[in-house]
Structure 1
């Protein structure tokens, strides 16, 4: 198995840890969709395709499946309850917004899901991307206020998970009196009382909130160089080094670079220009730093390629998660390692068509990543031995 080391690792301001990268996959609501330049369907549920997808992921080396949230898709809690019975190993990452239900009820629902999944659940807490959509749910807080509220929300959730009972809380956004729950969180790991928490956002306040209340700061992608630079900048004033960093990206990996580029271009062939205009309008109305920055990154680039293997061609149709690593199996594996050296610990990936892409990634890219990680780990062990 060959690997390509055509560029230097990104190490700027980052302590390199040789633990393994974690790979998650976004659960596709349209599991058989191949062309991302077309409008979404009505928002129905193709249960047969979803069951096929989760059953396949259960047999692969995917850590967990992200169940997304938004007005244009099914409720993730109800969907997760249905899918839970069809897996034995893979975990689920539940995306949810603070402010839509009381924290007590939310913990009760998460704890119930933890029993159905035997502890195989984590949370991706999101704070909304658009004042327009937030208003659909009766939420009129500003961007920064929503993150402030999320901090209170997770304070309460953590207290309930860790057994504070009865719980009294008096904050700016939440007040509770004698809150208590009988259904506790269950985990396969001894001593774990609550799910792992990911908090999403590219802004400084998102990083700060994540550092205070989460185990992983989840952001949209960029070049490895800019990821490393942003880590260095934030580390000077905040706590980026205290938590893990995850990237939400896409991947198109094939045996050769030429095949991967052809596959990428097929993703956006025969585009629906009305859909493209709709996405542009959504971005304009958004107050999300993550959404706006990734969209602007694609719009301002001299070409669709932000680097030899970083393609933004699908971003105008799908937004930030569509920023994609495109290349041969070796090239994509090498790029993932460069992100690791830039301080990234985890990835939530998508692909087109998503089931085949997930299978191909696990069969062809992931073994290459693990081989390079093993090599890097061995080198570090040797260096430590020589020092002593």
Structure 2
């Protein structure tokens, strides 16, 4: 987790970087509160053996832009725990992490779900601090909104894809979709793509890629995932295992796994017309430029995958209420906000001849800068 913390700072943040540890449990973690001009810090908490301070800072910055782009009033933040999410000591580690951040949570930061954490873990974090308002993503039994079960982020990714397809003159019905990652985001996106009339021709997990030009049986693949995890692609009875998902012949590519997956080589060789970023930070500035030059439309991560934070905002708003969140309202808002933001960003990109990421950043940065000015957080003249 070593990094030069001072090198992380720029005009936007971070406002606070807190590295914590606990000798008894072996817990090592980090909280990065990037920018709170528009509200308290909110972003998922991840647990991974490869977590670094720089990674969490990078993701916290993405949250700053994501909240601003979707025009909801939270600030960017992220937390990470260095460790195995399958550890038999996970609960003790989570409790130690929560205790270490008791001065920051929930006044400056709210826990949420990210890679390696689930609803039960959210309940543990909230319980340790004695407040159900300390974490979003709680189980239904505690009044929470089960993001992964509902598939809110993946639903939003498909809605953004549909809006982008309309913008560039495509009808999503009948289009072929390749999805990298078949976790909560990828499975929900696949389901929504089918409802919109598209076919999913390739799915990739850590176990490999399975493809079928005639379309995969997503229900079958989801069932296999429940039993075999990432190896579901190898257990699928009739698919081709010889092709990488990033090189499959498709119309739409959804990177929904990890950061930095769309290399310059992929950008140069891909045959798709549309890339919709379900994961955070799957492309680099250089690969985005290549895609722009090739006329391939890209919906940026903090535009396309903001469905989860819309749901988190609903959950946060209701954390002191005895009433259950209205799930229909959540999906309606996700669809409306993400479709409108996608169209606005792609239109600005076209008019200003910039990449879609540059257009999305300009939209979000203007909103953050205005809030910083009103709260006297800009540099002295």
TM-score of the aligned structures, taking structure 2 as reference length? 0.33
RCO (CA 8 Å, sep 6+): is it higher in 1 or 2?
1
TM-score of the aligned structures, taking structure 1 as reference length? 0.33
